[in-house]
């Protein structure tokens, strides 16, 4: 139905309200629960499936209200979710920049809500959001964000198989490295340029780069903070001949890594421990890695955390941190969906704050590299794999968690593309007492 048809229909009323509030025609098509449509013919179609979605937006206008309605199945986007969000991003910025509603705006909102029967108390946030906000646990797994939520409370065999089918053989749930030149494949066969969705090659390139930057050689000791399913531990022990200790806060994850090491006959060269760096007292280590595992550390505690790492490093030992970051300064708040679902434990630090904490702890920063452009390709590779098997994913994690996962991957992609979220890799060294670093310039 073209814009203008069914002028008193739900879709046209909602569309007219958006135009009234923001004085710009939104680049989307609205399809409402009464069967009417209105809006742009060539934009993404937003399906508003119930009055409850409208009520959510009345109480939480903007990104968070839309996200809650999507997670709850009250709205949907036709076609490619990420592309739809890209199209709406500019309009979303306009909405976010609008000053407070005028008295006339409020009257128009209330009038439309009454006409649509959408007036009522604020709907509760989806259970998944409440779970994350309350910091509760499912089973034996700590639930810290969308990535943890997707894999939590599922049978180990099916859950691990699902994560491997999405993340790739490395089971790395962190930003991959997408090189423009051929990368060497540790498996038999020639190197090859990474295709758009070759997440395995991109993760191997990342792991090799980390090992190179840490200067790993046979017999060295590596400490991996928050080792996840063991991507770096297994890779470094297998291909660089190091001895490794991996820290993880989930007993199930620890068992998975131990099994992976056992299957490769590497159990005698790596130890997987439950806990965080506070429990480590057997330094010094030649190298320490923290691959997207410091997001739970409050900004005010970063210096104390870096001081612990400095104490665990031998003189000349190297530290590599790969971290999500945010822009410093006013007017750049993180997307509210990100803080509600993806990283509910607190705001990300600006890269300058992280650099200062490392330096103030007595570890010399040698390089800082922005990885922001690498993350959208990583996220899209995961999302494509999810979308290739939606029924299988929903069977394991549930339909609502699948929606959380899809939205987090798509919205995070747009967030990185628009520089709302950053990613950096930092390399530092603990100097010797006489100032030597052991690193070439």
Specify if 130 maps to a domain: no
CATH no. for residue 52? 3.30.1050
Q: For residues 34 and 148, state if they share a domain.
A: no
CATH no. for residue 412? 3.40.50.150
Specify if 262 maps to a domain: yes
Q: For residues 29 and 74, state if they share a domain.
A: yes
Query: Which residue range forms the structural domain that includes residue 287?
Result: 137-429
Q: Is 247 left (phi over 0), alpha (psi -120 to 50) or beta?
A: beta
Specify if 439 maps to a domain: no
**Which pLDDT score, from 0 to 100, does residue 404 have?**
87
Specify if 128 maps to a domain: no
pLDDT tens string, the chain, 441 residues long: the values are: 344 444 579 999 999 998 888 888 889 999 999 999 999 988 899 999 999 999 988 887 777 788 889 999 999 999 899 999 898 887 777 766 666 778 888 888 889 999 999 999 999 988 877 666 655 443 333 445 556 655 554 546 777 888 899 999 999 999 999 986 444 444 434 334 445 569 999 999 999 999 999 999 999 999 999 999 999 999 999 999 999 999 998 888 899 999 999 999 999 999 999 999 988 999 999 999 999 999 888 889 999 999 999 999 999 999 999 999 987 765 444 446 666 666 655 578 999 999 999 999 999 999 999 999 999 999 999 999 999 999 998 988 888 888 988 988 998 899 899 998 899 999 999 999 999 998 875
Specify if 4 maps to a domain: no
Q: For residues 80 and 218, state if they share a domain.
A: no
> Which residue among 116, 147, 176 closes a domain?
116
Q: For residues 105 and 146, state if they share a domain.
A: no
Q: For residues 292 and 424, state if they share a domain.
A: yes
Specify if 33 maps to a domain: yes
**Which pLDDT score, from 0 to 100, does residue 212 have?**
97
**Which pLDDT score, from 0 to 100, does residue 330 have?**
54
Q: For residues 298 and 171, state if they share a domain.
A: yes
Q: For residues 88 and 223, state if they share a domain.
A: no
> Which residue among 81, 116, 151 closes a domain?
116
Q: For residues 296 and 397, state if they share a domain.
A: yes
Task: Please state the domain count of the chain.
Answer: 2
Q: For residues 112 and 141, state if they share a domain.
A: no
Cα separation, 375 vs 371, in Å, equals: 7
Measure Cα distances from 410 to 84, 91, 107, 325, 421 in Å.
9, 17, 34, 18, 13
Q: For residues 354 and 212, state if they share a domain.
A: yes
> Which residue among 61, 81, 116 closes a domain?
116
Specify if 145 maps to a domain: yes
Q: Strands, E, within 376-421: which ranges?
A: none
**Which pLDDT score, from 0 to 100, does residue 336 have?**
63
Q: For residues 99 and 206, state if they share a domain.
A: no
Tokens 């705001």 correspond to what residue? 347
Q: For residues 112 and 145, state if they share a domain.
A: no
**Which pLDDT score, from 0 to 100, does residue 286 have?**
98
Specify if 123 maps to a domain: no
**Which pLDDT score, from 0 to 100, does residue 229 have?**
93
């Amino acid at each position: 139905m073209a814009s203008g048809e069914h002028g008193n229909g739900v879709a046209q009323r909602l569309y007219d309200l958006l135009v009234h509030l923001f004085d710009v025609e939104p680049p989307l098509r609205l399809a409402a629960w009464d069967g009417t449509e209105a809006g742009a013919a060539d934009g993404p179609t937003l399906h508003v499936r119930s009055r409850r979605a409208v009520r959510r937006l009345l109480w939480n206008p903007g990104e968070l209200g839309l996200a809650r309605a999507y997670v709850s199945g009250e709205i949907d986007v036709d076609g490619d979710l990420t592309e739809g969000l890209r199209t709406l991003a500019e309009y979303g910025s306009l909405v976010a920049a609008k000053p407070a509603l005028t008295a006339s705006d409020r009257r128009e909102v209330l009038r439309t809500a009454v006409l649509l029967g959408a007036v009522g108390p604020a709907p509760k946030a989806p259970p998944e959001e409440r779970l994350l906000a309350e910091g509760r646990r499912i089973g034996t797994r700590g639930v810290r964000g969308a990535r943890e939520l997707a894999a939590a409370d599922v049978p180990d065999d099916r859950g691990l198989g699902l994560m491997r089918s999405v993340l790739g053989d490395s089971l790395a749930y962190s930003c991959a490295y997408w090189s423009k030149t051929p990368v060497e494949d540790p498996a038999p066969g020639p190197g090859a340029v990474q295709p758009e969705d070759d997440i395995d090659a991109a993760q191997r390139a990342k792991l090799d780069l980390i090992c190179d930057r840490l200067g790993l050689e046979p017999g060295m000791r590596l400490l991996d903070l928050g080792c996840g399913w063991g991507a770096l531990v297994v890779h470094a022990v297998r291909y660089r001949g190091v001895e490794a200790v991996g820290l993880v806060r989930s007993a199930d994850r620890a068992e998975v890594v131990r099994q992976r090491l056992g299957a490769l006959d590497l159990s005698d060269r790596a130890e997987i421990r439950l806990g965080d760096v506070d429990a480590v007292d057997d330094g010094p280590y030649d190298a320490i890695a923290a691959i997207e595992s410091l997001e739970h550390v409050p900004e005010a505690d970063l210096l104390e955390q870096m001081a612990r790492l400095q104490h665990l490093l031998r003189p000349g030992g190297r530290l590599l941190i790969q971290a999500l970051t945010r822009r410093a300064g006013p007017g750049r708040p993180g997307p509210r969906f990100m803080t509600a679902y993806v990283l509910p434990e607190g705001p990300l630090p600006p890269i300058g704050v992280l650099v200062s904490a490392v330096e103030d702890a007595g570890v010399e920063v040698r390089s800082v590299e922005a990885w922001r452009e690498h993350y959208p390709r990583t996220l899209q590779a995961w999302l494509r794999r999810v979308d290739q098997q939606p029924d299988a994913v929903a069977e394991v994690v549930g339909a609502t968690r699948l929606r959380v996962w899809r939205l987090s991957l798509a919205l995070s992609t747009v967030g990185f593309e628009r520089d709302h979220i950053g990613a950096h890799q930092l390399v530092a060294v603990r100097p010797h007492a006489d100032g030597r670093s052991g690193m070439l310039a």
